[in-house]
């Protein structure tokens, strides 16, 4: 009969999962004329984490996202991204003269683009609109198409620049659930730019506040908590984040 080694010894032998960095920003500075928008900013994005980036209007959130997306050749400092990046913007930016399906496969360099696009459209619940023209889509459908276009590239880093802000409240709730579902299934690292503290608390496991060109505040949220905005653990975090944004909980600056 085999002799069992007591449990704790076995547990200690299990190595902790290594934290892999997907994107690293060191001392990133971006000036527009006299104005320094990003000022020696440091940031690391770990594989699979969901970061929400908050900040007052004009604080440089989109500027940082553009730099991470490789869309800004004029930022100074260190920036490295391991793997592929996909971006979804506030406005879905679909090509109007190509049908939805062709928008998803546009520039897609994989062996079976059609099959991959079919799968991505099915995942976002848009299979029936595959043959539609982008201008005939509702706002929510267009944003789903935009998510499918980003996901079909299986990005290591998914950058979302306020993709839900133009949607009505009900559609937003549905898309939030969809994003969480897609994130669990594909596990990209996500950097979501948003103005909405509740959205950040609902979706992210790390919330950052950008101020004066740097990451001025960070809140880490337990990944195990139920993801609904009325969870009691989130009340004090909400107050902290609003205060980091210079807003009192009652909504007055």
Ligand X SMILES: Nc1ncnc2c1ncn2[C@@H]1O[C@H](COP(=O)(O)OP(=O)(O)OP(=O)(O)O)[C@@H](O)[C@H]1O
Smallest gap, in angstroms, from Cβ of residue 141 to ligand X? 24
Q: Which is nearer to ligand X, 67 or 182 (CB)?
A: 67
Asked if residue 246 binds ligand X (CB under 6 A), the reply is no
Q: What is the DSSP string of 82-150?
A: -S-EEEE-SS----TTS-HHHHHHTT--SS-HHHHHHHHHHHTT-GGGTTS-GGGS-HHHHHHHHHHHH
Are 210 and 55 a contacting pair, CB within 8 Å?
yes
Per CB under 6 A, the list member of 19, 27, 32, 84 interacting with ligand X is: 32
Residues 131 and 101: beta-carbon distance below 8 Å:
yes
Residue 109 Cβ vs ligand X, minimum distance, rounded to whole Å: 29
Q: Which is nearer to ligand X, 23 or 65 (CB)?
A: 65
Specify the stretch interacting with ligand X by CB under 6 A; choose among 41-49, 52-60, 103-111, 169-177: 52-60
Applying CB under 6 A, which of residues 43, 48, 52, 55 lies at the interface with ligand X? Answer: 55
Of the candidates 88, 171, 93, 167, the one whose C-alpha atom is nearest the C-alpha of residue 134 is 93
Residue 39's CB is within 10 A of a number of other CB atoms, namely 15
Query: Which range of residues in 57-65, 116-124, 141-149, 164-172 is near ligand X by CB under 6 A?
Result: 57-65
Q: Which stretch binds ligand X (CB under 6 A): 50-58, 93-101, 142-150, 226-234?
A: 50-58
Strand, helix or coil at 250?
coil
Structure tokens at 97: 């003269």
Write the burial class of residue 214 (CB in 10 Å: 0-12 exposed, 13-18 middle, 19+ buried).
middle
Residue 163 touches ligand X, criterion: CB under 6 A: no
Given the complex with ligand X, which of 59 and 146 has the nearer CB atom?
59
Q: Are 219 and 241 in contact (CB under 8 A)?
A: yes
66 to 125, contacts with ligand X by CB under 6 A? none
Q: Assess 57 for contact with ligand X (CB under 6 A).
A: yes
Of 62, 103, 105, 189, which lies in the binding site for ligand X, with binding defined by CB under 6 A?
62
60 contributes a contact to ligand X by CB under 6 A: yes
> Residues interacting with ligand X, by CB under 6 A?
32, 37, 55, 57-63
């Amino acid at each position: 009969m085999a002799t069992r080694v007591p449990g704790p010894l076995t547990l200690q032998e299990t190595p902790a999962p290594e934290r892999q960095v997907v994107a690293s920003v060191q001392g990133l500075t971006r000036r527009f004329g006299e104005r320094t928008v990003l000022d020696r900013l440091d940031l690391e994005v770990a594989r699979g984490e969901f970061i929400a980036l908050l900040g007052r209007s004009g604080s440089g959130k989109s500027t940082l996202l553009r730099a991470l997306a490789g869309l800004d050749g004029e930022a100074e400092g260190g920036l490295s991204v391991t793997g592929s990046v996909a971006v979804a913007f506030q406005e879905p930016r679909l090509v109007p003269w190509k049908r939805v399906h062709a928008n998803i496969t546009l520039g897609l360099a994989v062996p079976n683009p059609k099959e991959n696009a079919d799968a991505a459209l099915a995942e976002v619940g848009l299979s029936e609109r595959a043959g539609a023209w982008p201008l005939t889509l509702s706002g929510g459908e267009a944003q789903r198409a935009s998510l499918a276009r980003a996901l079909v590239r299986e990005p290591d880093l998914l950058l979302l620049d306020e993709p839900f802000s133009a949607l009505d409240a009900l559609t937003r709730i549905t898309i939030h659930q969809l994003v969480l579902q897609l994130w669990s299934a594909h596990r990209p690292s996500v950097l979501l730019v948003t103005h909405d503290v509740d959205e950040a608390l609902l979706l992210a496991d790390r919330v950052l506040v950008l101020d004066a060109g740097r990451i001025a505040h960070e809140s880490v949220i337990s990944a195990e908590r139920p993801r609904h905005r009325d969870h009691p653990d989130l009340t004090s975090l909400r107050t902290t984040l609003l205060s980091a944004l210079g807003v009192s909980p009652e909504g007055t600056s």
